Structure 1
Amino acid sequence: MKPIIGITMGDAAGIGPEIIVKALGYKELYETCKPLVFGDAKMLERVVPIVGSSATIHAIQDPKDAKYEFGTIDCIHLDLLPADLPFGEVNAKAGDAAFQFLAKAIEFAKEKKINSICTAPLNKEALHLGGHMYPGHTEILAKLTDTEDFSMMLTTPNLRVIHLTTHIGLIDAINSITPERTYTVVKLAHDTLKNAGFENPRVAVCGINPHAGENGLFGYGEEEEKLEPGIKKAQDEGINVTGPLPADTLFFRAGRGDFDIVVACYHDQGHAPIKVMGIEDGVNITVGLKGGIIRTSVDHGTAFDIAGKNIAGEKSMIAAINSAIELAPKF
């Protein structure tokens, strides 16, 4: 059965409406999923001629009323925006609407009316002006799903990476790694791929130090203290996990197919290989959300400077939708 992918419009004053309409102009997507936009049908109708599309916008309130036919864009229509919302400007109504689009998608995901969520970008300033004081999508998703243990996953066509730590300094990142965190992220990686249909996901964990410490030659025993107990716990539960392994060769091995996913210890250890191997096809994914909800995202912002001008490319949106299809829980 084709998964239903809920695509949230994000900030409608940005490029979200354009890249959604452009992406849904590819018939191939309709052969692998049922795309369902959460947003404002009026905005989609405005951008259809801007991007030169011939699509028809189908405003609905429930997924069961969708057509899921190429040439028709089904939209869960939340009538929250003025018809003349200006492109490229920070707007409180657009910020509030971006929150509401996502909240509705989360509600439907919890009810298993959709299989996964793919988000167009929102604007943090507009979000705050709209009364929602969150740093971004991830924190909204965590709050509305009552989730504490989650992680960032990045993917390209040939590599998947999940992180123990992300946006903190290197010293703080190493200090914050614990056996418990290692176990949690390994299990998140395993469970995410298992739910997506991988029979026996192959997980590999990077070492913290060069050569994964090389038996104490480098570092101060961080691998033995922070990584190995968590890995051992996962192995004892039957998870197919290997490591810690030297990061300088692990990503090559994963790229050629030896492993299904790599656990990176800190931001640049995981981000750099992803961006080298496919920055234009990179997708940001939130995993570990309660209920098995998967969220994928484009790897760019709202681009207010080019919004409404038919300049924005849809490649990242297509990649994000494809990742949402690949990782969509089966139910």
Structure 2
Amino acid sequence: MSPSPLPPLALTMGEPAGIGGEIAAGAWRALREGGPAFFLIDDAARLAGVPLRRIEAPEEAANCFPEALPVLHRPLPRPARPGQLDPANAPAVIAAINEAVALAKAGRAAGIVTNPIQKSALYAAGFAHPGHTEYLAEIAGTGRPPVMLLACPELRVVPVTIHEPLKQAIARLTPALIAECGRLTAAGLRQDFGIAAPRLAIAGLNPHAGEDGTIGTEDRDIVAPAVAMLRAEGIDARGPIPPDTMFTAKARPGYDVALGLYHDQALIPIKTLDMAGGVNVTLGLSIVRTSPDHGTALDIAGRGIADPGSLVAALRLAVEIAAHRRNSAR
């Protein structure tokens, strides 16, 4: 007996002054015939350019999706103006995330895809979290730290440290921190990507991975012990690998995910390879969550030139992960 179809995905509004509405419309155009189906939690009055269908429940989305973009209409406190932030709308942005998470937890959405938020606007309204990932860990976590993974067809990367000054990120690196990130990443690849024995490539910190301590001792004293810990647990971890060679076309087929020790070490390679198609995935949540790998693009909002490619990729990957999770739970 074939499994029942997955429910539609929930797409959040993101920053109303940004490109979220435009790329949602573009994603619907790209996916209307073949799916996956999704519905948008947003103010329908601010959306334009495609046929819309106001729905009362997620269950209505699949039937109308080929003809119109389904919208759970949630009015904004103030009209959104492209490129002009208004903290008064921040509560609606957060409410859309909360509603999407609740629907996914209830099984009424296969997962959530989050349009980019503008953290400065949320901070002005009292938002107390560094970003989406940390907030989702609070409302949809599993008791373990979430892991931010960026994926495109050519590469998957995980930054061990994320949004913090480089000096602070390096000071925070320990064998235990790197090993825990490796463990969580391996578990996430098994659950969400169906990779039975993930291969982890862990970047060195210094040029040439320190050259046996002659260009800094961190790789020898911090990274190598973390790799040894992971290998002792049966995880196929390799490193420290010189970061200037590990992302080449010849090297990439040798691993399933690369762990960078700080934000840019991981994100520069994937954005260079596929800026338009990269996807942000949060591993370790109780629900499926993906997001486009770009920001709100306030400078081009409202001009009709935003590329929906990363959002399309995020929607497609979200439904693939949901299917992997369902299959592994049987």
Gaps of 5+ in 1: none
Per the alignment, residue 280 of structure 1 pairs with 276
- 1:281 and 1:319 in contact (8 A); partners too: yes
Distance between the aligned counterparts of 1:234 and 1:178, measured in 2? 13
Match runs of 1:163-312 below 5 Å: 163-196=159-192, 197-220=194-217, 222-252=218-248, 256-289=252-285, 291=286, 293-303=288-298, 305-312=299-306
Instruction: Name the SS for the 2:247 alignment partner.
Output: helix
Q: Does 2:321 match 1:324?
A: no
Distance between the aligned counterparts of 1:3 and 1:234, measured in 2? 37
**Structure 2: which amino acid aligns with 1:165?**
T
TM-score computed with the length of structure 2 as normaliser: 0.84
Offset, 1:276: 2.2
Instruction: Name the SS for the 2:318 alignment partner.
Output: helix
- 1:283 and 1:297 in contact (8 A); partners too: yes
Q: How many residues align?
A: 318
Distance between the aligned counterparts of 1:111 and 1:198, measured in 2? 27
Equivalent residue for 2:97, pick from 88, 94, 102: 102
Instruction: Name the SS for the 2:45 alignment partner.
Output: helix
Q: Deviations over 1:180-221 (max 9, x none)?
A: 21112112221222112223222111122233233333322x
Q: Deviations over 1:278-304 (max 9, x none)?
A: 223233333333x2543323402151x
Match runs of 1:34-73 below 5 Å: 34-44=37-47, 47-48=48-49, 53=50, 55-61=51-57, 63-67=58-62, 69-73=65-69
- 2:275 and 2:293 in contact (8 A); partners too: no
Distance between the aligned counterparts of 2:37 and 2:234, measured in 1? 34
Offset, 1:325: 3.5
Equivalent residue for 1:16, pick from 8, 13, 20: 20
Instruction: Name the SS for the 2:275 alignment partner.
Output: helix
Per the alignment, residue 313 of structure 1 pairs with 307
Tell me how large the CA RMSD over aligned residues is: 2.7
Distance between the aligned counterparts of 2:293 and 2:265, measured in 1? 21
Q: Deviations over 1:249-286 (max 9, x none)?
A: 22126764221110111222212212221223233333
**Structure 2: which amino acid aligns with 1:227?**
V
Q: Deviations over 1:123-151 (max 9, x none)?
A: 33432454534443223212223556223
Q: Could you say if the C-alpha distance between residues 64 and 14 of structure 1 is closer, same or farther in structure 2, counting changes exceeding 3 Å?
A: same
Q: Deviations over 1:219-255 (max 9, x none)?
A: 22x2343223333333333322222222222212676
Instruction: Name the SS for the 1:98 alignment partner.
Output: helix
Per the alignment, residue 141 of structure 1 pairs with 136
Instruction: Name the SS for the 1:243 alignment partner.
Output: strand
Distance between the aligned counterparts of 2:97 and 2:237, measured in 1? 34
**Structure 1: which amino acid aligns with 2:10?**
G
Distance between the aligned counterparts of 1:58 and 1:298, measured in 2? 28
Distance between the aligned counterparts of 2:155 and 2:226, measured in 1? 23
Per the alignment, residue 85 of structure 2 pairs with 90
**Structure 1: which amino acid aligns with 2:110?**
N
- 1:254 and 1:261 in contact (8 A); partners too: no
**Structure 1: which amino acid aligns with 2:202?**
V
Distance between the aligned counterparts of 2:34 and 2:250, measured in 1? 29
Per the alignment, residue 76 of structure 1 pairs with 72
Distance between the aligned counterparts of 1:122 and 1:239, measured in 2? 35
- 1:96 and 1:126 in contact (8 A); partners too: no
Q: Could you say if the C-alpha distance between residues 256 and 18 of structure 1 is closer, same or farther in structure 2, counting changes exceeding 3 Å?
A: same
- 1:11 and 1:97 in contact (8 A); partners too: no
- 1:11 and 1:302 in contact (8 A); partners too: no
